[in-house]
Structure 1
Amino acid sequence: MTSRTPLLAGAALLAIAALAQRAQAAEDAQRPGQGAADQPAAATGGARNGDAIVVTARRRTETAQDIPLAISVVGGDQLDSTGSFNVGRLQQLTPALQFYSSNPRNTAVNIRGIGVPFGLTSDGFEQGVGIYIDDVYYSRVASATFDFLDVAQIEVLRGPQGTLYGKNTSAGAINITTNQPTFAFEGKAEVSIGNYNFKQAKAVVSGPLSDRLAARLALSSTSRRGTIYNVTTDQWLQSQDNIGLRGQLLWEPASDLSVTLVGDYNEQNALCCGSVFVRAGATQRPLNRQYAALAAAQNYAPPSTDPFDRLSDLDARLNAGNVIGGVALKVKWDLGHSNLTSITAWRTWDWKPENDRDFTGLPIVTLSQNPSQQNQYTQELRYTYSGRAVDFVIGAFAFDQRIDTQGLEAHGSASSQWSITPSNPLANDPTVLDGLTARNTQYLKSTSLALFGQASWKVSDAFTIQPGVRLNYDRKEGFYERRVFTGEGTELLGSETDARSVAQLGIFRPQLSAPRASNWNFSYDLTLSYALAPDVLTYATYARSFKTVGINQNGLPTDAAGVPIQAAGQIAPEKVNHFELGIKTQFWDRRATFNLAAFRTEIKDYQATVTNGQFGVLRGYLANAGKVRTQGFEADFSIRPSERFNAYVSGAYTDATYRKFVDAPCPPELSGGSALAAGQTPGAPGTPGGPSAPNCDISGQRLPGVSKWSVSFGAEGNAPARLLGEDGEVYFGYDGSYRSNFSSLASPSAYTWIDGYSLSNFRLGFRTDNGLDVFGWVRNAFDENYFEQLFVGPGNTGLIAGLPGDPRTWGGTIQMSF
């Protein structure tokens, strides 16, 4: 955080408060008294019912302060005003949420530091954070990279939620609710423009088709020029090009029965995903095989050694074509004190990537493509009951998924000199590896069946016991085949012994594997809550949860002889023990809210993505770490003293570490040297040619992607005004966030720590009661330089590339509701 950031942020908050105080003083002079203001949100904002924030986190309508659960609620209006149009932006408003994306497929959404293994994605494991849109489970995190479309509210639930939701969620859930069809005509239109040629348009229309049938149609389009300039291709990388469409039909044949049919289509065609040179660190490779020597041998230099010049020279084709869509049918039967709900859904995902995996402008890796197609079917049946003493939900869930992938990887003319030991004469022959190609064919079949339920027994007006149970069955079946061809088209079978073939097999080796696994799991939780006073709720939770069995779907790691290690095909389920204490309070006539939660989650057999930097082996695969623990506390405070002013601050302290991981891959500075002989001591970090241990003990070190401290804060003030003949209010808002440093590699490295940073966003606008809202905005107002991720280049050369976060952006938005 720069020294000027907190000072300017504090000045902004004071300005907002002063504006609101003057406006309120003027109003108070005109009226004798003032009633209680709306209840502020626990974190930011949400849908309101009177003076309460209404949520459906427990599959029934409740207020956020009445449920014994750590939850952050963000309303659709807050999303629009802060420019949080996807989950990536949402993390700036919810400190316990972490989001990382090097491309749509390699996207991680974590809560409290756990959920998805950090690194290249494998289809063979489950998500620990469930993403639900209108009760439909989205199995791929890639969906999180699309724009939110006609969202009413987002609820971020922290901690295991497997006894409430169809698909098991061991770390938490993101419950997204969209606006539903209405029998009264309404609509909304929004247009935004900004620098970097940013253009965004949204439109929604809803209304009756008959007295029993209503429809709602929403669409959005977002485009923006990239922020990284590629000097090789004369293109701007990291662009945005998204289109979204969502249609709904609501049929109410009777007052107690509703049937909703939903279809959506989302397409993304960004020029993505690029990187910039960040640094070169010393490894244990021989000096002539480290980055500086290899680059000098080919007279190569990056376009800039300052990553925030935002210059790249990637020479391979880049693309992030992405199409996601689906159809869902929801039937709800109101039985008075109970409801019976059925959700049937089909979802599809078509991913068409092109990458440059050597992170340089040299033709080393010239093709890296793993296009895949997914089809997913889900069926959920849920029965909920609400009574005077007992509430409960019971459900059944079925999930079936197939993913097919056709991979293509190829090396170019610069690969021989870069990848083959300089003492080998073949290193000077560019034809050895030029055109060397691996063709990968794989599929995954995944099935999951579950019964789940949770009850709330009101022992007294103050004391409630809430148990929950889940029974889960999972089966996975995979197939992986890699065939290798020389530049001349000859297939290598892996048994060749001539020097040329041996060098080629050092880059790609044929492999065939068909891992499969199945597993039963029983999990449960228990929450005790006690109301110390009408607006003070305390609770304690214990949950025994799991993440289901996994398989290494992208191929298996190999032994020293290059033989696949079959035992690595199956990854043991995670075993999760979760403890949480919390208190939820409101005071000052419910103008202020303060919530506090403390948690501790222990995971045995944690499913981690590990990386081996050498060519010729897998870039990433799954393995079980012995034990992981995440613990900490979270606090949310919000205040709304009047309709003229509101403010919030939310903070999280997260201590997430490997408690036992003794055979983890070593970081770059401890890799690449000679094999460690018996009784020999590994070389010091970054010692050229020193002996390297085959694995490293990283027990006690921090999990990747997790900041110890993360804070979100903001405020908005308004005052009555008249503009262009319209009565309304002028408002000024500020939203800020801060996160401390974090590791960008599963095995923490001195070269891949990302410094902490702070972001500040401002908005100034005018809105009226008849639905007009016009405002200007600036995001990352102080132009903070920061990284979203750092990447380790292949081959343990010491090359570190990175993805810079967005620079300052600004623009304006016009909204009209009718």
Structure 2
Amino acid sequence: MHPRFLIRAAALLSCAAPVLPANAQEASSNEPDLSGSEQDEAQSPSSIGTGAVDDGTIVVTARRRQESSQDVPIAVSVVGGEHIDATGSFNVGRLQQLTPTLQFYSSNPRNTAVNIRGIGVPFGLTNDGIEQGVGIYVDDVYYSRVASATFDFLDVAQIEVLRGPQGTLYGKNTTAGAINITTRQPTFTPEGSVEMSLGNLDFRQVKAALSGPLSDTVAARLALSYTDRAGTLFNAATGEDINEQNNFGARGQLLWEPSDAFDVTLALDWSRQNPLCCGTVYVGTGATQRPLERQFAALAAVQGYAVPSADPFDRIADLDAPLSAVNELGGAALKVNWQLGPGTLTSITAWRFWDWLPANDRDFLGLPITTLSQNPSRQDQWTQEFRYSADLGQVDFVLGAFGYYQEIRTQGSQAQGPAASRWLINPANPLSGDPSLLNGLTATNDIRLDNVSAALFGQLSWRVTDRLTLQPGIRVNYDRKDGLYASVVTNGNGQPVTFASIDPRIVAQRAVLAPQSFETTFSDWNLSYDFTASYALAPDILAYATYAKSFKSGGINLNGVPSDAQGNPILAAANVAPESVDHFEAGIKAQFLDRRLTANLAAFRTEIEDYQALVTNGQLGVLRGYLANAEKVRSQGIELDLSWRPSARFNLYFNGAYTDAEYASFTDAPCPPELSGGASAQPGQTPSAPGAPGGISPANCDISGQRLPGISEWAFSYGAEYNHPAVIFGASGEVYLGYDGSYRSGFSSNPSPSIYTNVDGYSLSNFRLGFRSDSGFNLFAWARNAFDEEYFEQLQVPSGNTGLIVGNPGDPATYGVTAAYRF
């Protein structure tokens, strides 16, 4: 029986397990003690960013031990579980509205980027052969697939967004930061919750959790989540609404605590997405350097094609190819904590899987140009982490070892349709008028990756005085990646398309889909280290400074590489060098007015050499883009997290980030569309002006000094909540009114900045009005994007230099009601 079936069955069956009464017992002392803050949620919700509350201390595990968020010399944003529920921030995409240093972009689950301070993964480029720079951890388990960021959070107690390199304490090395998600743990005191939401666009969401003892030493926790919403775009080609939401998740946890010194937690989870997704809308066109007869207007006219709407906010798509975004993940984790000598030994053993069953319309139009585009993928990963942490008075430390193995297998295909010949072949070629030339042309892909990583790491905190603490850390890492890429191309007659053939039809066909096959291996050792000094300027004011030398593992090209004139892959382009990171940061964490005012300020500068990006390198004698290394990028800025709680009746927060991120040196970047599509410039030739039809295009572009994509120079989140005592239907509690807003300035939506893909800045406003009783009942109405702001999450320029621009509109105004009960 397949292990995936067993994990799904176990996760679902666990949700039907009985909860039997037993003697109350405290939860494991080795887990974050969030129970107090959870019990106070009704009267004292936390502030977003700082995590401040009226009473008690927000506990974080950013440094793999429990401590106050204000004592951690790291820039960290804290979002409590109650704010996730109240603001509808049920996945990472929505979380970015609360944490301005976080950037999230997704055209579908696989094509997803999660960045912090503008760095993490190459924007707009999906390649299994490289790793993400932002680590996602759920209860200490590393999630290697960024697709997990598109799922609903499930029974979450708290989320910490850590900024800056995190390698000397975390299992997998991450250069930009980490998202540390802590779920609610099994308890020996019975508790539970249920939440139901209804809204426009047929929005339905149900969440439920139940926890309690099975015996004096065993406790269990079960959680379910279901979200469903109609699509936000209408596909005129099929008559269906697309870009839906459809998520189901289940998690079961079993805690065995035979003594105060030993506990074991087994966790099983399974989640599945099955929306009709994912599509874009027509935004417009922009002139390229292609001849006019090969730009969008002329190509569309030849085939009698017109877009269904020129206004993208009519939300009408026109996609005739199949769409699918079935996304399934899950796994099992076994965590052991053992009080051994002066410290705690922790072991975390985990297996995770990810299945991706996509289908896309890669021509973005209602024409049968590309009739099939799908690359189903499956992944298994195994991780083992050991950590020993101890507090020896003036000194505490963490020592750890981490092992990781990932296996990815992708078998996909792309097929061209009857409209492809006129669209893709130069009209000067008589073959362009033959629909059968490209109709049925198919590339069948086999892509494989075996990824091994192992590390030893440690961090020491030495309290030199009552005020001064020095904290060095080190990590030694080994990585090896073995990859295979094979693409076999056949035409509509079943003939193989090869480079050996000189048949004019085969030559024209391989110019559209070219066969290629190669294997490659990357391996390397790396050393990371960091040093932090923190000083208590006053009892509630902590200053800190950090330097970190880090890296992101090298990789391999698994989307194909350039070929020489004979069609042989240029293996010099198969490997990608590691990124080398120098990170500097200084900050102050302070509380004033009897800790009712919290202000955290951080300034940073991150420099990355050999930044992994898409390049076009004329030294290879070809113009095909491929994954390689830009010389250097730099991100620097200032961040402020502020919360003010003048009374238990009112709280206010403001989080802001100024980020200046640019390509410090990138001399062989792909050119933007306005400088592409013309004849390649020969030595001594001057490229034509941007957008000059039939012009001369540079072989590559120097974009040094230009902004990195996806980063707003200014980003803010802000909000407030007021409550007033009330009695409704005999239930005592409080009426409350809340507001959460966000703003981000404009940003580039193309890896090489283009005048056609600059997204304008926008602001979003969310409101909630409700009543929460002292007995745990909460009923509220909500409105998100209340003023129906029209904005784009991203713009895209499809390949081919036709000038077509498509986009992903953000959600329109949504509204609804939520009822929740916690006991």
> Which TM bucket (shorter chain)?
over 0.9
- 1:332 is aligned to 337
- Provide the rounded CA distance (Å) in 1 between the counterparts of 2:615 and 2:643: 40
- 2:678 is aligned to 673
- Provide the rounded CA distance (Å) in 2 between the counterparts of 1:308 and 1:38: 41
The reply on whether 1:145 has 2:118 as its aligned counterpart is no
- 1:607 is aligned to 612
The reply on whether 1:208 has 2:213 as its aligned counterpart is yes
Give the SS at the match of 1:719.
strand
- Provide the rounded CA distance (Å) in 2 between the counterparts of 1:357 and 1:717: 48
- 1:448 is aligned to 453
- 2:695 is aligned to 690
Aligned ranges 1:366-385 → 2 under 5 Å: 366-385=371-390
- Provide the rounded CA distance (Å) in 2 between the counterparts of 1:309 and 1:585: 48
Count of paired positions: 778
TM-score, scaled to structure 1: 0.93
- Provide the rounded CA distance (Å) in 1 between the counterparts of 2:642 and 2:53: 18
- 2:599 is aligned to 594
Structure 1 residues 652 and 548, CA gap change in structure 2 (3 angstroms): same
- In the TM superposition, residue 120 of structure 1 has moved relative to its aligned partner by 2.8
- In the TM superposition, residue 625 of structure 1 has moved relative to its aligned partner by 0.3
Of 684, 707, 711, which residue of structure 2 is paired with 1:706? Answer: 711
TM-score, scaled to structure 2: 0.93
- 1:773 is aligned to 778
Cα deviations across residues 663-712 of structure 1 (Å, max 9, x unaligned)? 00000000010121221100100001111111000000000100000000
Q: Which amino acid aligns with 1:204?
A: A
- Provide the rounded CA distance (Å) in 2 between the counterparts of 1:618 and 1:167: 35
CA contact (8 A) 2:370 2:414 kept: yes
Q: Which amino acid aligns with 2:579?
A: E
CA contact (8 A) 2:175 2:552 kept: yes
Give the SS at the match of 1:417.
helix
Of 167, 176, 180, which residue of structure 1 is paired with 2:181? Answer: 176
Cα deviations across residues 759-786 of structure 1 (Å, max 9, x unaligned)? 0000000001111000000000110000
Give the SS at the match of 2:767.
strand
Of 640, 643, 650, which residue of structure 2 is paired with 1:645? Answer: 650
- In the TM superposition, residue 63 of structure 1 has moved relative to its aligned partner by 0.3
- 1:763 is aligned to 768
- Provide the rounded CA distance (Å) in 2 between the counterparts of 1:451 and 1:619: 39
- In the TM superposition, residue 493 of structure 1 has moved relative to its aligned partner by 2.1
CA contact (8 A) 1:42 1:636 kept: no
- Provide the rounded CA distance (Å) in 2 between the counterparts of 1:38 and 1:467: 40
- Provide the rounded CA distance (Å) in 2 between the counterparts of 1:525 and 1:465: 11
Cα deviations across residues 253-274 of structure 1 (Å, max 9, x unaligned)? 2221000000000000011110
Give the SS at the match of 1:270.
coil
Give the SS at the match of 1:567.
helix
Give the SS at the match of 1:52.
coil
Aligned ranges 1:556-567 → 2 under 5 Å: 556-559=561-564, 562-567=567-572
Give the SS at the match of 2:82.
helix
Aligned ranges 1:650-661 → 2 under 5 Å: 650-661=655-666
- 2:289 is aligned to 284
CA contact (8 A) 2:379 2:408 kept: yes
CA contact (8 A) 2:343 2:389 kept: yes
The reply on whether 1:633 has 2:638 as its aligned counterpart is yes
- 1:815 is aligned to 820
Give the unaligned 5+ runs of structure 1.
1-36
- Provide the rounded CA distance (Å) in 2 between the counterparts of 1:624 and 1:660: 11
Aligned ranges 1:242-321 → 2 under 5 Å: 242-321=247-326
CA contact (8 A) 1:228 1:237 kept: yes
- In the TM superposition, residue 366 of structure 1 has moved relative to its aligned partner by 0.6
Structure 1 residues 45 and 775, CA gap change in structure 2 (3 angstroms): farther
CA contact (8 A) 1:226 1:236 kept: yes
- Provide the rounded CA distance (Å) in 1 between the counterparts of 2:530 and 2:566: 47
- 2:350 is aligned to 345
- In the TM superposition, residue 467 of structure 1 has moved relative to its aligned partner by 0.3
- Provide the rounded CA distance (Å) in 1 between the counterparts of 2:220 and 2:153: 19
Structure 1 residues 65 and 45, CA gap change in structure 2 (3 angstroms): closer
The reply on whether 1:531 has 2:539 as its aligned counterpart is no
Give the % identical residues: 66
Q: Which amino acid aligns with 1:361?
A: G
CA contact (8 A) 1:513 1:556 kept: no
- In the TM superposition, residue 566 of structure 1 has moved relative to its aligned partner by 1.1
Of 336, 357, 363, which residue of structure 1 is paired with 2:362? Answer: 357
- 2:162 is aligned to 157
Q: Which amino acid aligns with 2:246?
A: D
- Provide the rounded CA distance (Å) in 2 between the counterparts of 1:150 and 1:133: 11
The reply on whether 1:83 has 2:88 as its aligned counterpart is yes
Structure 1 residues 38 and 633, CA gap change in structure 2 (3 angstroms): farther
Q: Which amino acid aligns with 1:236?
A: D
The reply on whether 1:499 has 2:504 as its aligned counterpart is yes
Give the SS at the match of 1:491.
coil
Aligned ranges 1:46-85 → 2 under 5 Å: 46=51, 50-85=55-90
- Provide the rounded CA distance (Å) in 2 between the counterparts of 1:806 and 1:504: 40
- In the TM superposition, residue 608 of structure 1 has moved relative to its aligned partner by 1.2
Structure 1 residues 508 and 351, CA gap change in structure 2 (3 angstroms): same
- 1:740 is aligned to 745
- 1:574 is aligned to 579
More deviation in 335-344 or 472-481?
335-344
Give the SS at the match of 1:492.
coil
Of 713, 721, 725, which residue of structure 1 is paired with 2:726? Answer: 721
Q: Which amino acid aligns with 2:282?
A: F
Give the SS at the match of 1:448.
strand
More deviation in 557-566 or 428-437?
557-566
- Provide the rounded CA distance (Å) in 2 between the counterparts of 1:443 and 1:623: 19
- Provide the rounded CA distance (Å) in 2 between the counterparts of 1:48 and 1:56: 17
Give the SS at the match of 2:58.
strand
The reply on whether 1:406 has 2:411 as its aligned counterpart is yes
- Provide the rounded CA distance (Å) in 2 between the counterparts of 1:175 and 1:522: 23
- Provide the rounded CA distance (Å) in 1 between the counterparts of 2:539 and 2:50: 22
- In the TM superposition, residue 337 of structure 1 has moved relative to its aligned partner by 4.2
Cα deviations across residues 113-133 of structure 1 (Å, max 9, x unaligned)? 000110131001111000000
CA contact (8 A) 1:40 1:638 kept: no
Q: Which amino acid aligns with 2:420?
A: S
- 2:395 is aligned to 390
CA contact (8 A) 2:223 2:252 kept: yes
CA contact (8 A) 1:465 1:529 kept: yes
Aligned ranges 1:461-540 → 2 under 5 Å: 461-540=466-545
Q: Which amino acid aligns with 2:711?
A: V
Q: Which is bigger in relative contact order (C-alpha 8 A, separation at least 6)?
A: 1
Structure 1 residues 281 and 83, CA gap change in structure 2 (3 angstroms): same
- Provide the rounded CA distance (Å) in 2 between the counterparts of 1:328 and 1:447: 19
Q: Which amino acid aligns with 1:301?
A: A
Of 420, 439, 446, which residue of structure 2 is paired with 1:415? Answer: 420
- Provide the rounded CA distance (Å) in 1 between the counterparts of 2:292 and 2:566: 25
Structure 1 residues 192 and 808, CA gap change in structure 2 (3 angstroms): same
- In the TM superposition, residue 184 of structure 1 has moved relative to its aligned partner by 1.2
- In the TM superposition, residue 646 of structure 1 has moved relative to its aligned partner by 0.4
- In the TM superposition, residue 40 of structure 1 has moved relative to its aligned partner by 8.9
- Provide the rounded CA distance (Å) in 2 between the counterparts of 1:338 and 1:55: 19
The reply on whether 1:801 has 2:793 as its aligned counterpart is no
Q: Which amino acid aligns with 1:632?
A: G
CA contact (8 A) 2:573 2:626 kept: no
- Provide the rounded CA distance (Å) in 1 between the counterparts of 2:131 and 2:816: 39
CA contact (8 A) 2:499 2:567 kept: no
Q: Which amino acid aligns with 2:203?
A: F
CA contact (8 A) 2:54 2:596 kept: no
Give the unaligned 5+ runs of structure 2.
1-41
Structure 1 residues 408 and 618, CA gap change in structure 2 (3 angstroms): farther
Q: Which amino acid aligns with 2:137?
A: Y
- Provide the rounded CA distance (Å) in 2 between the counterparts of 1:44 and 1:664: 37
More deviation in 485-494 or 454-463?
485-494
Instruction: State the Cα RMSD in Å.
Output: 1.6
